[in-house]
Chain A
Amino acid sequence: MFKIIHAEFLAPGIKRFVIEAPRIARKQKPGQFVILRIYEEGERIPVTIENSDPERSTISIVVQAAGKTTHLLNSLETGDAILDVVGPLGKPSEIRKYGTVVVVGGGVGTAMAYPTAAALKQAGNRVLSIVGARNQELVILEKEMRAVSDAVMITTDDGSYADKGFVTDKLRQLIENGTRIDLVIAVGPIVMMKAVAEMTRKENIHTVVSLNPIMIDGTGMCGGCRVLIDGKSEFACVDGPEFDAHKVDFSVLVQRNTMYRDAEQRSLAEYRHSKSAEAGKCAVTAPQGAQA
């Protein structure tokens, strides 16, 4: 059992958890993730480690409600516990002095990119961050990103906060302004990572993306997380999750992530149904913000 020391919503549907996990806290490096299972009948899902505190023996994660498991997770509160948390998994981000690094975070990807941005800053890089979200409410970790970046640019799809547009608009501006960029790191929805990759490919800017295929064990055992890199199969849980964006076959990733759509929709519908039945019966309000 892994105890939740603290839980709070950062935005509607996006929740941060501080979890007691002494072994993981001691070993975590930016770019690594955990796999967790909430309860006995639960599935195993991967979540990036946003931060760790070896002294307090804790790690933190930021979770966006997508389907049943993440909705259920986001209904947990301070004092609850998670049955299994294993990690840190995956190769850490390659941290060294590149020069100028642009860190692009889309949606909850901002939380996943944050530890890498912080480490890159620490390593002496000039860090320019681009944070994108659908609307103002969903902009997360702005303060944290500012603290580790030389500049932060924010976009919202609907223009409700900062500049209206997409993260790629900001990246294009940087490129057009003649900013020297030594590395781009993009973490977020697949469409966003793909758009970034296409833009930087033309400019020959080395770009790294963090891939999010469906995983089970996270140790290289099942092969379910295989992604197509430069025409070859690689296992994202052990060979990644970060890969050279210009070698990734994004269409295979998109396709494989739809494999269980029917089952996922059924799970979520049944979960919502049971939640609303419960809420109706005991007149308890659903966890605030826990909607997709």
Chain B
Amino acid sequence: MSPTATKSKNPVSPKDRMKIPRQLMPEQPAEERAHNFEEVNLGYSAELAQQEAKRCLECAKPTCTDNCPVGIDVKKFVELIVAGDFLGAAAKIREANVLPAITGRVCPQEDQCEGKCLLSKKVKPLGIGYLERFVADYEQKMGIHVVPNVAPTGKRVAVVGSGPSGLTVAGDLIQKGHKVRVFEALHEIGGVLVYGIPEFRLPKQIVREQIDYMREMGVEFETDVVVGRTVTIDELLEEEGYDAVFIGTGAGLPQFLNIAGEHLNGVYSANEFLTRINLMKAYKFPVYDEPMLDLKGRDVAVIGGGNTALDAIRSALRLGARKAYVIYRRSDAEMPARAEEVHHARQEGIDFQMLTAPIEFLSDGKGWLTAARCVRMELGEPDASGRRRPVPIQGSEFDLPLSVAVIAIGTSANPIVQSTTPGLVTNRKGYIQASEETQRTTRKGVFAGGDIVTGSATVILAMGAGRRAANSIHEYLTTGAW
């Protein structure tokens, strides 16, 4: 018998744990949710959560934790769920992750914690994301907010950008007694969590609650400030008296295909499409003023295969699109989107046109999109990314009739801060150069992390960078050493 089993609070014998099936996440029926913006997943009940938690084998060397970018002690928090101590479980997670209600919902678990769960060798992996979400939501429902009481250090930190990296830095540093002010270019706090990821995947109320909690802890937020334009990094340091600055401005610039017809009415970047819907609430027009092309009964396609692409097309479906296509130039295996989203999208009736790429957008002669001329692809030799390169098949062109096309083929670095901060070194692609351990940039007192350093990545990687940055900012502020 393994040593863990003797101490275990788990009443089920290790052998029998494998016999418990992975507990399904209750969800809105596909045909219903395809027409509303309510959350797809409804969350575990306490019973389901405990039943799922009992599947954990309590490994001596938990590979789940090794494969979580912030090293959450999964075994421990799951054990606390089995024991019924949900608040304890939440506290355990918070030691490594300040936004569990968010990561539990949006982490690509299949590539991270769950991907390396020992269970997955024989049966389905433990539902770590679902459990994380459960305890975070439980804690929120109980309304328990521990506002730490720490002695002020008298140091001030400016955080630029309020995405997951910036929020993590702010949350960590305020708990160490520093004053923190977050500057955000948009009118809402949250970065991609509010302007990109739609309500049906991440209810904005959850993001808002996390931010309110930070406000309670004393974090100050100033919206409508584009750092580099409204105020520069140098002015923050020299004139406004900040002792350190963290840059977490994300990878916000949309890329286009550079094919004919991209200027037609009806062709959107995913950022614009999702911003209109999520940030500006165009789906509630005319209660909200921001307009949106009417998608009812229209055919819509998104170009791309990542989370952004799926978020856009599933939003289009919810706005009444008749046909909703994903046009992706590689095959299923290469799609970067979270597995659960692909599964949900298929259930909802999204039509996946795989190994297909648009080569031109066609118009009605009056400036409006009518179709995408596409070509079918086949997979050739692996490219630099190790994925097999798609090659067009001669003579396979066809026209796909469309009213709206959304381009979701990736983003690049937003240059505003870099171009207005002398001495801040960037890499070839314009991302800020920062140490992988300390997140220090080439400017004294200036740290950076998240997508603006790595290029588009994930929420949890941005948070991991925020955590490392907070630690080294704290060290810098207390020792003064650079």
Interaction A to B:
yes
Binding site for B on A (CB under 8 A): 23-24, 27, 37, 41-44, 68-69, 83-89, 216-224, 226, 228, 233, 238, 252, 255-256, 258-260, 262-264, 266-267, 270
Question: Which B residues lie within 8 Å of A256 (CB)?
Answer: 263, 265, 367
Max chain A Cβ within 10 angstroms of own Cβ: one of B229, B231, B252: B229
Given A85-B224, A86-B185, A220-B416; 16 other pairs, CB 8 A cutoff: A23-B230, A41-B287, A41-B289, A43-B289, A83-B187, A216-B290, A218-B226, A219-B226, A219-B414, A220-B252, A222-B272, A223-B269, A226-B263, A233-B258, A256-B263, A260-B291
Question: Which B residues lie within 8 Å of A37 (CB)?
Answer: 187
Pick from B185, B225, B367: contact of A217, CB under 8 Å: B185
B398 interface contact, C-beta 8 A: no
With both chains docked as a complex, state the minimum distance between the C-beta of A116 and any C-beta of chain B, in angstroms. Answer: 18
With both chains docked as a complex, state the minimum distance between the C-beta of A84 and any C-beta of chain B, in angstroms. Answer: 4
Question: Which B residues lie within 8 Å of A252 (CB)?
Answer: 263, 367
B262 interface contact, C-beta 8 A: yes
Max chain B Cβ within 10 angstroms of own Cβ: one of A85, A222, A238: A222
- 10 A-B contact pairs sorted by A residue (CB < 8 Å): A41-B289, A44-B280, A89-B229, A220-B253, A222-B269, A224-B269, A255-B265, A260-B291, A263-B285, A263-B292
> In whole angstroms, how far apart are the Cα atoms of A252 and B263 in the complex?
7
Q: Which B residue's beta carbon lies closest to that of A238? A: B416
B223 interface contact, C-beta 8 A: yes
Question: Which A residues lie within 8 Å of B289 (CB)?
Answer: 41-43, 68-69, 267
B286 interface contact, C-beta 8 A: yes
A24-B230, A88-B230 are contacts. A216–B275 as well, Cβ < 8 Å?
yes
Question: Which B residues lie within 8 Å of A41 (CB)?
Answer: 281, 287-289
Question: Which B residues lie within 8 Å of A84 (CB)?
Answer: 187, 223-224
Question: Which A residues lie within 8 Å of B292 (CB)?
Answer: 263
Q: Which B residue's beta carbon lies closest to that of A221? A: B252
> In whole angstroms, how far apart are the Cα atoms of A223 and B275 in the complex?
11
B293 interface contact, C-beta 8 A: yes
Q: Which B residue's beta carbon lies closest to that of A42? A: B289
Name B283-318 residues within 8 Å CB distance of A. Answer: 285-294
Size of B's binding interface in residues, CB under 8 A: 43
Pick from B186, B256, B272, B416: contact of A233, CB under 8 Å: B256
Q: Are A223 and B280 closer than 8 Å at their CB atoms?
A: no
- Inter-chain contact count A-B, CB under 8 Å? 118
Q: Which A residue's beta carbon lies closest to that of B230? A: A23
A42-B289, A43-B289, A86-B224 are contacts. A217–B186 as well, Cβ < 8 Å?
yes
B254 interface contact, C-beta 8 A: yes
B271 interface contact, C-beta 8 A: yes
With both chains docked as a complex, state the minimum distance between the C-beta of A100 and any C-beta of chain B, in angstroms. Answer: 31
Question: Which A residues lie within 8 Å of B276 (CB)?
Answer: 216
Q: Are A264 and B252 closer than 8 Å at their CB atoms?
A: no
Q: Which B residue's beta carbon lies closest to that of A218? A: B226
Q: Are B291 and A263 closer than 8 Å at their CB atoms?
A: yes
> In whole angstroms, how far apart are the Cα atoms of A69 and B280 in the complex?
14
A23-B225, A43-B290, A264-B291 are contacts. A221–B414 as well, Cβ < 8 Å?
yes
Pick from A44, A86, A228, A260: contact of B263, CB under 8 Å: A228
Question: Which A residues lie within 8 Å of B253 (CB)?
Answer: 220-221, 223
Pick from B254, B265, B290, B415: contact of A259, CB under 8 Å: B265
Question: Which B residues lie within 8 Å of A86 (CB)?
Answer: 185, 187, 224-226, 230
> In whole angstroms, how far apart are the Cα atoms of A222 and B275 in the complex?
7
Q: Are B229 and A27 closer than 8 Å at their CB atoms?
A: yes
With both chains docked as a complex, state the minimum distance between the C-beta of B444 and any C-beta of chain A, in angstroms. Answer: 24
Question: Which A residues lie within 8 Å of B225 (CB)?
Answer: 23, 86
> In whole angstroms, how far apart are the Cα atoms of A224 and B289 in the complex?
17
Max chain A Cβ within 10 angstroms of own Cβ: one of B252, B263, B294: B263
Report, nearest first, the 7 A-B pairs whose CB atoms are least far apart. Answer: A263-B291, A255-B367, A223-B269, A222-B272, A86-B224, A260-B291, A43-B289
With both chains docked as a complex, state the minimum distance between the C-beta of A5 and any C-beta of chain B, in angstroms. Answer: 18
